[in-house]
Amino acid sequence: MADSTDRTILFAHPGAELYGSDRVLLESVSALVDAGWKVAVTVPTSGPMVGELRLRGARVTLRPCPVLRKRVLRPVGALEFLSDAVRGFASGMRLLTGLKPDVVYVNTMTIPLWILLARLRRIPVICHVHEGESSAPRLLKSALALPLFFATRVIANSRFSVGVLAASFPRLARRAIVVHNGVLGPPAVTPSRQHFESPLRITYVGRLSPRKGVDVAIQSIAHLATRGVESRLDIVGDVFTGYEWYEQQLRDQVESTGLGDRVTFHGFQSAIWPIVAAGDVVVVPSRGDEPFGDTAVEAVLSGRRLIASATSGLLEATEGYRTAITVVPGSADALADALQQTIETWEGTSPQIEADTERAVARHGSVVYRKRIVDLIDSIVTPAR
């Protein structure tokens, strides 16, 4: 086989932000750059991830691409998808013709056009599944999964995601290879407080959306207040376009419950570690399915106590960590109970936190993840043309 320096890989991704699957893409790109590949990335719009990609040595190009969302099930959304598909087909074919990649890596199920384009050009194509909503409409789940039959290889980020695929197409799920996300922790772990002193400092990091249960976290702070427990909540993240109403709803909730001096909205932050380090416990209060749970792993890697909903991929992400607590999804009372439990069991847990951090590095560290991705790609790529 030819040297990797003679080979080119094209990554396709549906956005340019810096949340879960975006950060995993950065790890995958770094893996291939470090292995000597020429790496190109195509995204439909610009955003903070573009600069990060270029810092890692990738060439970035902006190309229109239709993205499968729930709105596609409505007539207007379907028409927009078809219009984007026509523009994206022509633009994508031009990119493949000029770039001549040896493999196309589609970093989500939501942009199936790139699978089709790669197959039409007879280029091996990998699809990395980061989605997993068992409660999504059956038609949407099937529409997302069907194009995977044309992929050369399917990678899934969790056993839960594979299970969601199996609900639509069992034969497809049997082809999927599970590779748990590579998750970067902070450059250096700031030890948590040895002894508890009020207030309890709580952190939420992620999208602001009803499915993520940010309102549940806020309500749990209100419950703690009625119990005489002082706490503070830092909320890091922003909304998808069109969900601005939810952020306003959260702010109204804070005001109506008198928590203005206890809850801080930080908005999107590309550098989350200083805020996480300033806290005691990270909460992941999702009320809906999560394909995995990068934020949960980040909490453990940061040496922080973790409370997450006992659902879907979050159970997989928190499995085996002694200081991680799982609670009933959507229950502010259950979350408040767990937060109070962290105070009651504070003393003597530092060794357990350190052990959990080491375990998380072994499971999700860059070295392990990057090697698996490079090996999987090497196994399907033909000698460079």
Predicted confidence at residue 92, as pLDDT, reads 95
Q: Could you give the CA distance from residue 93 to residue 122 in angstroms, rounded to a whole number?
A: 12
> What is the pLDDT tens value at each position of the chain, 385 positions in all?
445 568 999 999 999 999 889 999 999 999 999 999 999 999 999 999 999 999 999 999 999 998 877 666 667 767 777 888 888 899 999 999 999 999 999 999 999 999 999 999 999 999 999 988 887 778 878 888 999 999 999 999 999 999 999 999 999 999 999 999 999 899 999 999 999 999 999 999 999 999 999 999 999 999 999 999 999 999 999 998 888 999 999 999 999 999 999 999 999 998 899 999 999 999 999 998 899 999 999 999 999 999 999 999 999 999 999 999 999 999 999 999 999 999 999 988 989 999 999 999 999 988 899 999 999 999 988 544 4
**List of domains in the chain:** 4-182+365-378 (3.40.50.2000), 200-363 (3.40.50.2000)
Tokens representing 352? Answer: 């357990």
Predicted confidence at residue 4, as pLDDT, reads 56
Tokens representing 125? Answer: 């194509």
Q: Could you give the CA distance from residue 292 to residue 131 in angstroms, rounded to a whole number?
A: 9
Predicted confidence at residue 1, as pLDDT, reads 42
Predicted confidence at residue 270, as pLDDT, reads 85
Predicted confidence at residue 139, as pLDDT, reads 80
Predicted confidence at residue 71, as pLDDT, reads 67
Tokens representing 374? Answer: 């490079």
Half-sphere exposure of 8 (CA within 13 A, CB side): 14
Tokens representing 14? Answer: 């549906």
What is the SS3 assignment for the chain? Answer: CCCHHHCEEEEECCCCCCCHHHHHHHHHHHHHHHCCCEEEEEECCCCHHHHHHHHCCCEEEECCCCCCCHHHHCHHHHHHHHHHHHHHHHHHHHHHHHHCCCEEEECCCCCCHHHHHHHHCCCCEEEEECCCCCCCCHHHHHHHHHHHHHCCEEEECCHHHHHHHHHHCHHHHHHCEECCCCCCCCCCCCCCCCCCCCCEEEEEECCCCHHHCHHHHHHHHHHHHHCCCCEEEEEECCCCCCCHHHHHHHHHHHHHCCCCCCEEEEECCCCCHHHHHCCCEEEECCCCCCCCCHHHHHHHHCCCEEEEECCHHHHHHHCCCCCEEEECCCCHHHHHHHHHHHHHCCCCCHHHHHHHHHHHHHHHCHHHHHHHHHHHHHCCCCCCC
